[in-house]
Amino acid sequence: MVDEVQDITNIQLKCILASLKNRQHFVLTGDSNQIVHPNFFSWSKIKTYFYETGDSRDNRINILQTNYRNSLRVVELSNSLLKIKNSRFGSIDRESNYLVNTVSREEGEVLLYFNDEKKKKELNRRTQESARYAVIVPGQVQKAEAARFFKTPLIFSVQEAKGLEYENVILVDFISGHEAEFREIIAGVTVEDLQQEALPYNRAGDKTDKDAEIYKFYINSFYVAVTRAVKNIYIFERLSSHPALQLLQMQETKTEISIRETRSTREEWLNEARRLEEQGKHEQAEQIRAKYLGYEYLSPEQLETVKTLALDPAKKEAEVKRERKQLFQYAIHHRRYDWVEALAKLQFQRAILFMKEIRAERREYEKHLRLGNKSGVNAVIRKYGVDFTCDGGVSGLMLALKYGQTELVLDMVNNGASLTHADDSSRQALDYLLASYIKYKCSKQKQTQLANEQTLIRCWNRICPPAIEYDCNRRRFRAGSHSMLYFLIILMRITAESQPMHAKLIYPEGDEEIVGGTFDMAELEQFAAMMPDEILPPYRKKRTYINSVMAMHEREKPSPYCKEAFLRVKRGRYVLNPEIKLNQSGQ
């Protein structure tokens, strides 16, 4: 499924659809009126593309005219913008030639104010503590100007605002900032054109004239900004009597700001930060956390500068005291204890005291995990977060898997524990689960506190990353979690050290020696036999099947399907290819 398809190019769409096994299994959704990057998109071009590529079978287009978001006044304004665009530039295509109907019963309001400092400051005073008000400006450049008056963290450029919605939206200088462009946009459009009940289908006379696409960008941006509002819009314009606003029959509101002052709770703000972060709006999410968790906001550029200065061992304490304090506060709130530890090594006193406390907490945390003490584990998680690590970068999830504490594992996963966090040895949670289970199966003392079969069955699919990605010979390979290749890579990397036979690989050009454990078919078959059928079906445990997978993905295999995962060091004995570089973030 591809959303916002109007913002991607034909070549991007071709690459996406080329990944399909069944060429008919896709859904494209989008709105031609929300194009904010001039790219000449239209649904008719999409249909032409499918026709020319021979993929036109059973392609249905459904037009969704019902609006479930916006109030009546907001929809009236957005429909007026569509009428202006239709009258001035003609129809984009038949699929986009419609007005929107809303099911909302909210009346809402759209108010126009002259863009003066007094009114903006008053509106800011009443709304800056509310997570239900957002400020939208035409571009990144205008965000700094808006931040002088509006102290809310919720300031977005129109590109950033796509996909978001807020009960109330404040728009600043969308028309006045592009005064000449909007004069051109409304040229020849009359009030009567805006009184139509439906959009007539009329294509532009000169289809080779692409200048109109540039003007559509400005009105589309205004349309996107308007439709972010669920209920109310407050428009500030320096040119409040601009002909475009007069055409929209918008009169400047002369009365004082009468909006009731509202405040959102700290929890509401932090929930909003999480929502924004999930949608990739990291800047606004970080500003919210800085404000409501009580530390200084640092932009990515500022953070990099502060970090470089604070961790420079050549700098004296007096030279970088401010930067070290900033980095310490940032690290505490973002749980970057590696940075705190680096500061402690530089004799930053607050970091030394904090790390002393952390080391004591780590010892207690590991003890609680080993014993399955749920209350003790939760107390540490509440204080330091679910991804709090012990010595060696080992997370609580890894230790819970190692000790077979199934209920603790499931609780941590439900609370968002990272499945891709790697310890100092580059092992992840799934490695700990499988290693502990194999140790349990090989142990003569079954009462040993390790991951047993029930732990493996219940936890495998919950902590199993969807794929392993790795690079080799300037190519990137992917092994899906459903594949035998995936299982063999994990198995070999966690059991290589304990294998009885090792091989020394020498690379003359780099004068490098690598020693790795080797596997034959009997050993791999024995490991596979240990696995429950729920994890590894019986047919995958057979020697012939294992051998076929190993042979298919042997480094020297001359096949386009070879993923170069294994290296044969002698007849019948393999090692995990030492040239592959696992991409931890892709797992």
Q: What is the pLDDT at residue 341? A: 92
Q: Would strands 573-576 and 566-570 be described as parallel, antiparallel, or unpaired?
A: antiparallel
Instruction: Provide the residue type at 500 as one letter.
Output: P
- 100 within 8 A of 65, measured Cβ to Cβ: yes
d(CA 389, CA 409): 15
Question: Which helix (H) or strand (E) is 452 found in, with range?
Answer: none
- 518 within 8 A of 574, measured Cβ to Cβ: yes
* Closest-CA residue to 250 (of 136, 137, 171, 149): 171
Neighbours of 585 (CB within 10 A): 8
Please give the backbone phi and psi of residue 517, each rounded to the nearest 5 degrees, phi first. Answer: -70, 140
d(CA 388, CA 243): 59
Tokens 């790219």 found at: 39
Question: Which parts of the chain register pLDDT below 50?
Answer: 585-587
Instruction: Provide the residue type at 105 as one letter.
Output: R
Q: For the segment 3-30, what is each residue's pLDDT rounded down to a tens digit?
A: 988 888 888 888 898 888 888 888 999 8
Q: What is the mean pLDDT of the chain?
A: 89
Q: What is the pLDDT at residue 209? A: 59
Q: What is the pLDDT at residue 586? A: 42
Q: Could you tell me the two tokens for 317?
A: 């304490």
Q: Could you tell me the two tokens for 38?
A: 């001039």
Q: What is the pLDDT at residue 210? A: 62
**DSSP strand E in 100-179: where?**
101-102, 109-114, 133-137, 155-157, 166-172
Return the SS3 of 14: helix
Q: What is the pLDDT at residue 265? A: 95
Angle CA(81)–CA(84)–CA(86) in degrees, nearest 5? 110
Q: What is the pLDDT at residue 121? A: 93
The dihedral over CA atoms of 310, 315, 318, 324, expressed in degrees to the nearest 10, equals 10
| pTM score, whole prediction | 0.73
d(CA 460, CA 463): 6
Q: What is the pLDDT at residue 50? A: 81
Q: Could you tell me the two tokens for 58?
A: 């059973």
Return the SS3 of 282: helix
Handedness of CA 305, 307, 310, 311 (dihedral sign): negative
* Closest-CA residue to 515 (of 435, 584, 569, 564): 569
Q: What are the CA-CA distances from residue 421 to residues 263, 424, 451, 457, 477 (Å)?
A: 37, 10, 19, 21, 20
Q: What are the CA-CA distances from residue 526 to residues 147, 255, 427 (Å)?
A: 65, 82, 23
Percent of the chain with pLDDT over 90: 61
Phi-psi domain of 434 (left: phi exceeds 0; alpha: psi -120 through 50; beta: other)? alpha
Q: What are the CA-CA distances from residue 416 to residues 402, 419, 456, 463 (Å)?
A: 19, 9, 19, 11
| Residue 296: DSSP 8-state | -
β-pair partners for 338: none
Question: Which helix (H) or strand (E) is 191 found in, with range?
Answer: none
d(CA 577, CA 562): 13
d(CA 360, CA 366): 10
